[in-house]
Amino acid sequence: MSDVTAPAGPDGSTSSTGEVSGILRRVLWVLALFVVGGAAGGVLWERLWDAPTGLAYQGRWYLEPAGPDFSFEGIALYVLIAFPLGLALAVLVGLWRGHETVTVVAVLVSAVIAAAVMYAVGTALGPPDPQALAAGRPDYTPLPGDLGLTAPDDGRVRWHSTALVVLPAGAMAGLLGTYLLGNRGSARRSRG
């Protein structure tokens, strides 16, 4: 068994600690970029969304007028913002070459976190839960709906939705496109 070490740099040290710190720096940069992007996406999601109105009746909130086009507007808007956001962030990260395997894992984990941040920021800025507000209101009191990723039915958890995978899907598509199509004009020529 032979001992194999990394080649020594100009100062006589090995480059393994520099490589590890470079990888860590890349992962933290990717995470920060996606978290900031997710927060900005959440602000945009809440600003573009029009809260549906409903009525309090016997201590419960009902969407008025009822229908899927009113209850799913927030979900559709989340999808329309999250996919291009993930795509753009991943393309930006994909331009930074080297350590592609680490970058893929960092983008996937960061995109999942960014999707949760986008949801958390959007719902925190939006109106409160109308079911809770309707409990103490007189009948036929108009109340705005809340921003969530499911229908506003009683007993549904607002974030249990497959829409949360849209931002990571967009990120993976952007990174895949960057890695597959990004080298066309910059391929290295052999010198030998």
SS (H, E, C) 167-187: HHHHHHHHHHHHHHHCCCCCC
What is the pTM (predicted TM-score) of this model?
0.79
* Sequence ranges of the domains in the chain: 23-50+72-127+147-179
- CA torsion sign for 109, 171, 157, 43 is positive
Query: In the prediction, which pLDDT does 1 show?
Result: 46
Is the pLDDT score of 33 beyond 70? Answer: yes
pLDDT digits (tens, 9 = 90+) for 162-174: 889 999 999 999 9
Report pLDDT digits (tens) over 77-123.
999 999 999 999 999 998 887 778 899 999 999 999 999 999 999 99
